[in-house]
Chain A
Amino acid sequence: MKWLMKRGWMYGAMALISAFALFPVYWVVITSLKPRSEIYTRTPDLWPSDPQWDQYPHVLGAGHVGLMSHQPCLATLALDARRGRPRRADDRLVVRAGGAGCIARQAVGDEKEKHLVLKVRYEKNDCPARAGAPRIAARRPRPSSRS
């Protein structure tokens, strides 16, 4: 009894802190194994009733996540290789698939092209190839959301 008074609460605190530290990671792990219907539920379970392991091979190999790190670079390379060549029909196709910067390239002449490409780049704050859908909207001045 005396031991419990002296040391017991320490073990209790240790268990509490461990739970606090581990729980979010545990929650993500079991969420990764749950089917959709168990994720979007008002009464979550602490254990997946029907573990779905097939997400992992999907993420690590076949799916888009594993490739994601290469994709922007490849698209950018393709874009750069095409730049400066005479404009052809298939060129336009590739470039359009490449993303936002290229819309500007098609839409306007050489003089303004640089400006628009840069503009699109800076508004996306990223390489143009990563912007998935063509964004012609980028040419319009954006309304300031401040104030």
Chain B
Amino acid sequence: MSTAPAAVSAGRASESAPRPPAAVIARRWVARLTMPVLLLLPAMVIIVGLIGYPLVRTVYLSFTDTGLGELIYGGSTWVGLDNFKEVFSDEHLRASLVNTVVFGTLCVIGTMVFGFATALLLNQRLRGNWFFAIAVLLPWAVPAIAASAIFKWLFDSRYGFVNWALVELGFSGFQDYAWFAGRVSAYVAIFITVVWQSFPFIALSLLAGLQTIPKETLHAAAVDGAGPWNRFRLVTLPLLRPIVAVLVVFSTIWDFKIFDQIYVMAAGVPDRAADTAAVAAYREGFALSHYGLGSAVAVVLFLILLVFSLLYVRLIGREGSA
């Protein structure tokens, strides 16, 4: 090895010092990398253990026919894409995927619009703003299961507050109206629950963004004759685009894998018509012990989320740079 530099140095006459032997270079690299790798190791171990292993295991399970017996005695067989074929051919599972995409998208839109309106209002610094801020923050502190139970009680057909209030307001058709007897009405109730729970985070994040916008820019736009709507559309929105992008991706992920609210509130919807993919994966995997099929549903949900997130990031990122 140590004789190699003679031949090499002929080619690289410009180098003043002769190239050190490979062993020395390797040792130097090891010395340089030891500390960073050691420092990163604990985090890497945790990430691989808590995220990597379950992910790989789920993907593996989705290609097998693992049920309860196979889980206990071992010996599950590789079935290729059969589970995925069933996910798309089974009526219930296919419906759950459609539910996820449609309902999730509506939830994202509702949360973003309502959150944005709240943030703009908070940014006006009205009197009593502190109370408003606390009131808005409160739903964020309520656990998802508790919130679902609260709203289930509010939307109760017989003793619920919502039906009583609607009847008092003159909509007598809501007397004993069963919100969770049909898919659409159940989704209306769950939509309100989801928006109630997630708009505080959106509102406060956007408020933080709004406060970074320099007042001078808005004043300059006003001097140039821009009305409130144009100021919002042409100044505020473009400046907030990075935050909006991140928040949309976040709430897409949250709202597409929504589980608690559906499981608590819509478990009784006939024919399981209101199941989203996360609930369907749970039912298939844990209630019916079809681990392979359940994993396949989870993997499909994961891919849907991946596609939507990438789409948003590309879409919003490109508009921002143009």
Contact = CB atoms under 8 A, between A and B. Distances in A.
22 contacts: A10-B126, A13-B121, A14-B128, A17-B132, A17-B135, A21-B138, A24-B154, A25-B138, A25-B139, A27-B153, A28-B153, A44-B164, A114-B72, A115-B72, A118-B71, A122-B286, A122-B289, A142-B288, A144-B288, A146-B288, A147-B90, A147-B92
A17 B135 CA distance: 8
Interface stretch (A35-43, A49-57, A64-72, A129-137): A35-43
B68 interface: yes
Interface residues of B, number: 37
A47 B133 CA distance: 25
Contacts of A24: 139, 142, 147, 150-151, 154, 196
Contacts of B287: 125
Interface of A: 7, 10-11, 13-14, 17-18, 20-22, 24-25, 27-28, 31, 39-44, 114-115, 118-119, 122-123, 125, 142, 144-147
B16 interface: no
A119 B286 CA distance: 11
Contact of A31 (B131, B132, B153, B286): B153
A21 B138 CA distance: 7
Contacts of A42: 158-159, 164
A103 B57 CA distance: 32
B292 to A, nearest CB: 14
A143 B237 CA distance: 54
B118 interface: yes
A24 B92 CA distance: 33
A118 B72 CA distance: 8
Contacts of B68: 118-119, 122
Interface in B33-89: 68, 71-73
Contacts of A118: 68, 71-72
Cβ-closest 4 pairs across A and B: A18-B135, A24-B150, A21-B135, A125-B286
A107 B284 CA distance: 29
B126 A11 contact: yes
A85 B88 CA distance: 50
B211 interface: no
Nearest to B176: A42
Nearest to B165: A44
B161 A27 contact: yes
B228 to A, nearest CB: 11
Contacts of A40: 159
B99 to A, nearest CB: 16
Contacts of B196: 20-21, 24
Give the most central of A22, A24, A39, A41: most B CB within 10 Å.
Answer: A24
Interface string B257-293: 0000000000000000000000000011011110000
B321 interface: no
B296 interface: no
Given A18-B136, A118-B71, 16 more contacts: A10-B121, A11-B126, A11-B128, A14-B126, A17-B118, A17-B121, A20-B196, A21-B139, A24-B142, A27-B150, A44-B164, A119-B68, A122-B286, A144-B288, A145-B288, A147-B91
B19 to A, nearest CB: 62
Contacts of B283: 146
Give the most central of B142, B200, B289: most A CB within 10 Å.
Answer: B289
Nearest to A13: B121
A18 B132 contact: yes
A10 B68 CA distance: 58
B135 A22 contact: yes
Contacts of B14: none
B204 to A, nearest CB: 12
A27 B154 contact: yes
Given A10-B126, A115-B72, A22 B138 contact: yes
A30 to B, nearest CB: 10
B146 to A, nearest CB: 8
Nearest to B131: A18
Contacts of A146: 90, 92, 283-284, 288
